[in-house]
Amino acid sequence: MENKVNIIPFSEVTKFHGHVCPGSAIGYRAAETAINELSSSRSIDEEFLAIVENDSCSVDAIQVVTGCTFGKGNLIFKDHGKQVYTFVNRKTGDALRISLSKGIDEINPEFGKVRQKAFSESASSEDKIKFENQKNKLSENILEMPADELFKIEHVKIEIPQEARIFPSVKCAKCGEMVAEHRARVENGNFVCIPCFEDYSRT
């Protein structure tokens, strides 16, 4: 592929996320896979859309690597508790669904044992150090594994969600704060914000 996008180093994810962990490693690999498979130019920020089905550590990596963020409206969260990530290239319409195909303990069987010990009542400081070391090792395993062993990767067809729009704001009749019109509720013919409306509904 010409014009291949450079993928930022994992250390940038760690800087943003605050620690090295298996979750951020999974997110990094998912984002990297998507960019390799879907991207045609360097400006991935604008053309990419990510749909994430959990709100764990991995999503921080996805934001850093792909540039998809809540603020730009190209990061969509579905609260399914699944390690599934769908990426869409809005320019080409290509979509890739990436799901974790191995459990953490399958990737690194030592990890489960060490974790259990580290979180038991009788855990020594040595057990905790062992756990931290194994966690780093597991993160490394994830970063080094072939993507098609780590994930099930499928090209899929999905309907492309609309790009973020800018909505007009209205003033809440109760608290006086501005609220996006499409989020406002109507109470006695006046616009009110959701928290004020919910106070009203509860009484």
| Footprint on this chain of Zn ion (rule: CB under 5 A) | 21, 23-24, 57, 172, 174-175, 193, 196
Closest to Zn ion by CB, 72 or 174: 174
**Phi/psi at 151 (nearest 5 deg)?**
-125, 155
CB 99, min distance to Zn ion, A = 19
CB 132, min distance to Zn ion, A = 13
Task: Give the whole-angstrom CA distance, residue 158 versus residue 44.
Answer: 19
Task: Give the whole-angstrom CA distance, residue 25 versus residue 14.
Answer: 9
DSSP conformation letters of 126-144: HHHHHHHHHHHHHHHHHHH
For residue 183, the one-letter residue type is R
Report the run of H or E that residue 45 belongs to, with start and end.
helix 44-47
CB 69, min distance to Zn ion, A = 18
Closest to Zn ion by CB, 104 or 172: 172
CB 40, min distance to Zn ion, A = 31
CB 193, min distance to Zn ion, A = 3
Among 15, 54, 50, smallest CA distance to 32 is for 50
Closest to Zn ion by CB, 95 or 104: 104
Closest to Zn ion by CB, 19 or 152: 19
Nearest residue to Zn ion, by Cβ distance, number only: 57
Closest to Zn ion by CB, 107 or 193: 193
- The sign of the torsion formed by the CA atoms of 42, 6, 102, 19 equals negative
